[in-house]
Every structure is written in C-alpha cells, then in structure tokens.
Amino acid sequence: MTIIICPFLFLQIYPDPDAEKVIMGSTVLCIHHSEGCKWTDELRKLKGHLNACKYDTIPCTNNCAAMIPRLLMEDHLAFTCPKRRTKCEFCNKEFTGEMLEGHAGTCLHEPIYCESKCGLKLQRRFMTNHRLNECTKRLLPCRYCHKEFVYDTLQVHLGKCVRFPLQCPNRCEPAKIPRDELENHLKDLCPAVVLPCPFKDSGCNFMGPRFAVDKHSEEKTKQHLLLMCGLISRQQEQIATLKSTIQNLSVNHSGSLFWKITDCAAKMAEAKVKEGFELCSEPFYTSPHGYKLMATLFLNGNGAGEGTHLSTYIKIIPGEYDALLLWPFSHSVSFTLYDQSSCSEKACTIVESFVPDPSWKNFQRPSREPEALGFGFPRFLSHESFRKRSYIKDDTLFIRVKVDPSKIIAV
C-alpha cells in the first residue's frame, strides 16, 4: 500500500531509529500528485525527486520574484515574465515585458480602424493626417455657406447650397451671383435680361434689354397713353357685360317672389310722416323669357286705405322679351302676408288674389318705367288687424307674390 505520511511528525512521536528506518523506506506519492505528477517511490527519495520535479515551483530565472512550476517556466519566460526581453509585433523594437504593456496601444506602427468609421485601417502614425485630409467621413465646412458637412456629401450639398455662386444666364458683367440672389438679380437688376414693354398688356409689342426698355418707355409716352385709353375702353365694355351677366343670374325667373321686409318699425314711422312712402321689391320674371314684374307696399296705406290699411300692388315693368309676349297681361296674381305666430294652428295668414282686367292700360305692354300705381289691394289689411297678429316678428315681415304658372305665357 502506498501512503503519504509526514516523517518528521512520526519521528517526533516515535523517536526510535528503527522506526525512522521503516518510515523512510515507506512508499509515498509526490506532493504534486494532484497537479499531475505520477512519481511514487520511497520517502527517502522524495527530496531528490522534488529537485527535478517539473511540477515543483522555483524562483523565476529572470529574477522577477515569481515562483513558477518548472513545467511552466519556459512559457513564463517567453510570454508572461515582466523581465523577459521581447519585440513589438508592429514596430519590431525590443522591450521588457512590463515596458511592452505600456507600449501596447500606443505603437505608431500598429494598424487601427478610422474612428470616423470610414472603414479604412491604417498604422496609428498615419491616422491624424488621414482624419484631417483623406477620410471620406471627415467634417468640412462649405466654403460658401460655412455650414459643416461630411466630406462625401459635400458635393451633393454644393448642388443645392444657397450661397453657391452661379453665372448669370444672360452673361451680364457682374461677377458670379449666389444661388439665392439669382432670381432677384434676373427680376430687378440684370441689365442684360430681355424684358417686354411695361405696356405689353395694353398692346405694345416692344422687347429688349432692361436699359433699352427704360429708354423705350421714356420715348413712347404718347403712344402708350393711347394704348391705355383703348385698353380701358375695352375693359369697361367687358365690365358692363359681366355686370349684366351677373345681374341676369341673380334675377328671379320663377314667377314667385318671396319678399322679406326688415326694419319695419322704422319704415312704418317714416311712412306715417312721409306722404306716398312706397317700398319696392326687386324685379322678378314670370319665367326665364316672361313678363317682368315688381311688387310695391305702402305700410301706411294708399288711396282708399291711406292711414288705415296696408296697401300692396303689382307693377308690370319693361322687360327684355316684351316684344315676343302676348299682351295685355292676363294672368292671375296672389298676395300672401304670413302670420309668424309660434303656434302654426293659430296663425292667420292673409291671401288675396286678382285676375287682371285686359282693358286696363297698366296691363298693356309698358313703354317705360311706369310712375302710376300698379294693380292690387289698397285695403289689403287694416292696421288694427295687423297689430293683433304676429305678422311682424323680430321687426320683419314676409310677403309672397305669385303669378299663376298655369297662365304664364312664355316663348
């Protein structure tokens, strides 16, 4: 049986020479057995074995003060000993191990990647010049607008830079013009730009450089004045035509007038102090090519109803298509005064109608705007009845005048 025993402890307990002999002859394992040493022999031979055991530690031969197993000494001396002599793999200079640690990361010959992430790998000694002068990701100021851009985008910026100088398209004398000033230069400053005469819209066809246009304007004042007069005349004709068109579009051609009369209190007060005070509606037509009519209202009455009633009438006035219509006018006309009561069941709306007398002159074709009354109802509604109902609400009343469509004669 192989055992490991401390002989010194045993000899102290049993200081018998025979016992010492027995102990020293016992078989033991190397003290570095757990580290991998396979040696086993008599105890007396252990000391001699340890002097050669590759697992036993000895001081570093470079005197770095480290205790290194004989097995690892070669690697220690080659790679980890701070007193070893070694060369930098990049610059090939020789250093001690501890000096190499300080040299690592600073060697000027070591290849490193550009910090600007352009993808290039250079020796550290060339990197400063690369970042300043060669790197495609370095920042450079635009020489025109002074904003900073990445180098590989600077050319794209120059194609849009507002301060980039451009040659005037007209090749005028001034030096190159910043891009953001070129439009204003061409519009207001360039002496070589070809311009039309300022009176082009009036009919002047002259075109030339700016200086020639200025001279032309000074010399042709009279001609330009005549052109302007002609333009104004044509514009006035166009305006008149447009006004007529707009007026025709706004004219009522339905044969029915819904008349809203506001400010009734003030108008009634005026009617009581002003004799013959008459309210007139907008003209309306019985159809797109029919008779032209106009309603009138006397708030304080007229004729038989003066001072006591509302009087309402219809007038026939000259229209555009009178020459094509049948005369006399013979279509029934109705007047409706609306009761604006909030309760529709209790409302008392007034409706009156008449059929024109063909023998009466006011139903003949009108030759001019008539000054006489039309035809209607001088006693349409008494003031007493008018005040009892809600014919006026919010100082407003509503009257409807309608020509019977079954008797409208139109072309």
Close Cβ partners of 227 (under 8 Å, ≥ 6 residues apart)? 199, 202, 203, 204
Inside any domain, residue 59:
yes
Residues 296 and 319 in one domain: yes
CATH number at residue 318: 2.60.210.10
pLDDT tens by residue, 198-231? 888 888 998 888 888 888 888 888 898 998 898 8
Burial (CB count within 10 angstroms: exposed 0-12, middle 13-18, buried 19+), residue 102: exposed
CB 314 within 8 A of CB 329: no
Single residue among 208, 226, 250 that ends a domain in this structure: 250
Domain span holding position 346:
256-404
Residues 360 and 391 in one domain: yes
Average pLDDT score over residue span 178-205: 85
Residues 225 and 301 in one domain: no
Residues 290 and 347 in one domain: yes
pLDDT tens by residue, 298-355? 999 999 999 999 999 999 999 989 999 999 998 999 999 999 998 888 889 999 999 9
Whether 169 shows a pLDDT value over 60: the answer reads yes
Of 10, 61, 7, 56, nearest to 30 by C-alpha is: 56
pLDDT tens by residue, 357-411? 888 888 888 877 656 568 999 999 999 999 999 999 999 999 999 998 675 443 3
Whether 1 shows a pLDDT value over 50: the answer reads no
Inside any domain, residue 178:
no
Inside any domain, residue 125:
no
pLDDT tens by residue, 49-76? 877 787 877 788 777 877 878 777 777 7
Single residue among 208, 225, 250 that ends a domain in this structure: 250
Residues 203 and 275 in one domain: no
Percent of the chain with pLDDT over 70: 92
pLDDT at 107: 87
Report which of residues 364 and 86 the model is more confident about. Answer: 364
The token duo for 371 is: 């000054």
Residues 304 and 353 in one domain: yes
Residues 346 and 232 in one domain: no
Residues 217 and 293 in one domain: no
Inside any domain, residue 351:
yes
- C-beta pairs of 354-358 under 8 Å, 24+ apart in sequence: 355/330, 356/328, 356/329, 356/330, 356/331, 356/332, 358/328, 358/330
pLDDT tens by residue, 19-55? 777 778 788 888 888 888 888 877 887 777 877 787 8
Nearest 5°: the CA angle 270, 271, 277 is 115
Q: Count of domains in the chain?
A: 3
CB 279 within 8 A of CB 267: yes
Burial (CB count within 10 angstroms: exposed 0-12, middle 13-18, buried 19+), residue 238: exposed
Averaged pLDDT score across all residues of the chain: 84
**From the centroid of its chain, how far is CA 27?**
96
pLDDT at 15: 57
Close Cβ partners of 26 (under 8 Å, ≥ 6 residues apart)? 3, 5, 42, 43
Inside any domain, residue 390:
yes
Inside any domain, residue 242:
yes
Whether 138 shows a pLDDT value over 50: the answer reads yes
Average pLDDT score over residue span 281-285: 93
Close Cβ partners of 112 (under 8 Å, ≥ 6 residues apart)? 121, 122, 123, 124, 127
Inside any domain, residue 126:
no
Cα-Cα-Cα-Cα dihedral sign, residues 28, 32, 36, 38:
negative
Q: Characterise 228 by phi-psi region: left (phi > 0), alpha (psi -120 to 50), beta (else).
A: alpha
Inside any domain, residue 50:
yes
Residues 357 and 294 in one domain: yes
Residues 260 and 394 in one domain: yes
* Helix (H), strand (E), coil (C) string for the chain: CCCCCCHHHHHHHCCCHHHHHHHHCCEEECCCHHHCCCCEEEHHHHHHHHCCCCCCEEECCCCCCCEEEHHHHHHHHHHHCCCCEEECCCCCCEEEHHHHHHHCCCCCCCEEECCCCCCCEEEHHHHHHHHHHHCCCCEEECCCCCCEEEHHHHHHHHCCCCCCEECCCCCCCCCCEEHHHHHHHHHHHCCCCEEECCCHHHCCCCEEEHHHHHHHHHHCHHHHHHHHHHHHHHHHHHHHHHHHHHHHHHCECCCEEEEEECCHHHHHHHHHHCCCCCEECCCEECCCCCCEEEEEEECCCCHHHCCCEEEEEEEEECCCCHHHCCCCCCCCEEEEECCCCCCHHHCCCEEEEECCCCCCHHHCCCCCCCCCCCEEEEEEEEHHHHHHCCCCECCEEEEEEEECHHHCCCC
Residues 235 and 283 in one domain: no
CB 376 within 8 A of CB 311: yes
CATH number at residue 66: 3.30.40
Residues 271 and 384 in one domain: yes
In which band, very low, low, confident or very high, does the pLDDT at 17 lie, cut at 50, 70 and 90? low
Close Cβ partners of 341 (under 8 Å, ≥ 6 residues apart)? 347, 348, 389, 390
